[in-house]
């Protein structure tokens, strides 16, 4: 099961005055589409942390988000955690707690809040009715608003800003690194890069392969060698673009891993590559001033 979807079927961008849906809370547990979860699922306890749901003002509405941070101290470096297509469900919340245990202010805004509730939908509905209708520009605005929200809390240091994302969120990491000058570093886990899987559209006009030269912060891409959605030719195209840009961004490939190898709640999880990739991600953030 993969959670990246083609982006070519996008409909018109939702306007604030014409919204038919707005998700106002996250709910609990894992997304319906991923059940039953694997026995390997990791659960990070909340002891020593301040965790819970918050609301982030963005584009005239309040979008729900999950936040986790140490219970004392600060201000902490910020880690934006960008969801898969399944929304901000228990796995994404757990990733936030993992970062919080390491001293981060981690926050995952629900970037589908205006388009639908992916945590309560099946995969066909997510692919056809929610994800294609989420404009990249809206996502960039919501992430900017989340950073501003964190900064205003007094608990977070916007000068130490990182971003990581998985699958759908991995693509967003590359886009956000080209969007803002505020970001210090990003780590993208197997996000769509472009090609046939992601033709340009009105709502998603550019892909990572189109913006390799435009990155304003270093990004580490962690990709799978056995990924049917992201074949090696498109990874190699992105690698060449990054090299030609003469920046420090790069992609590392785990040759025997499938798509979703870091998702411990799914059958695609591979403990060895996941552990190695997580270590590389943490080292990348530390080396680039986040943490």
How would you label 206-228 residue by residue, b for 16+ Cβ within 10 Å and e otherwise? ebbbbbbeebebbbbbbbbbebe
Catalytic-residue membership of 262 = no
Q: For the purposes of burial, counting CB atoms within 10 Å of the CB of 97, is it exposed (0-12), middle (13-18) or buried (19 or more)?
A: buried
Catalytic residue selected from 4, 110, 142, 227 = 227
Active site residue 167: yes
Catalytic (active site) residue 7: no
For residue 16, count other CB atoms closer than 10 A to its CB.
10
From the candidates 89, 259, 262, 264, which is the catalytic residue? 259
Alpha helices in the chain (DSSP H): 90-101, 123-125, 136-152, 168-179, 232-244, 271-287
Among residues 96, 167, 179, 264, which one is catalytic?
167
Structure tokens belonging to residue 179: 């969007």
Within 13 A of 240's CA, how many CA atoms are on the CB side? 7
Which amino acids are annotated catalytic? 167, 227, 259
């Amino acid at each position: 099961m993969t959670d990246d979807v083609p982006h070519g079927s996008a409909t018109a961008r939702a306007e604030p005055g014409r919204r038919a849906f707005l998700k106002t809370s996250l709910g609990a547990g894992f997304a319906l589409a991923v059940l039953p979860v694997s026995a390997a699922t990791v659960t990070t306890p909340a002891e020593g942390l301040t965790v819970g749901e918050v609301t982030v003002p963005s584009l005239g509405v309040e979008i729900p988000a999950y936040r986790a941070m140490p219970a004392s101290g600060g201000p902490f470096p910020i880690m934006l955690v960008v969801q898969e297509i399944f929304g901000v469900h228990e796995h994404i919340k757990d990733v936030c707690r993992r970062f919080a245990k390491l001293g981060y202010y981690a926050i995952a805004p629900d970037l589908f809040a205006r388009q639908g509730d992916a945590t309560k939908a099946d995969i066909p509905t997510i692919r056809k009715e929610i994800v294609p209708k989420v404009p990249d520009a809206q996502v960039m605005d919501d992430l900017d608003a989340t950073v501003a929200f964190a900064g205003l809390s007094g608990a977070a240091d916007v000068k130490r800003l990182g971003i990581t994302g998985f699958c759908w969120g991995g693509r967003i990491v590359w886009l956000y690194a080209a969007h803002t000058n505020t970001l210090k570093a990003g780590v993208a886990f197997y996000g769509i890069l472009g090609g046939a899987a992601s033709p340009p559209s009105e709502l998603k006009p550019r892909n990572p392969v189109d913006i390799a030269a435009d990155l304003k912060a270093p990004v580490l891409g962690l990709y799978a060698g056995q990924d049917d959605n992201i074949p090696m030719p498109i990874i190699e195209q992105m690698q060449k673009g990054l090299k030609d840009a003469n920046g420090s961004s790069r992609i590392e490939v785990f040759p025997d891993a499938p798509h979703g190898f870091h998702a411990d709640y799914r059958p695609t999880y591979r403990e060895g590559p996941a552990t190695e990739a997580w270590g590389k991600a943490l080292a990348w953030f530390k080396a680039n001033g986040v943490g």
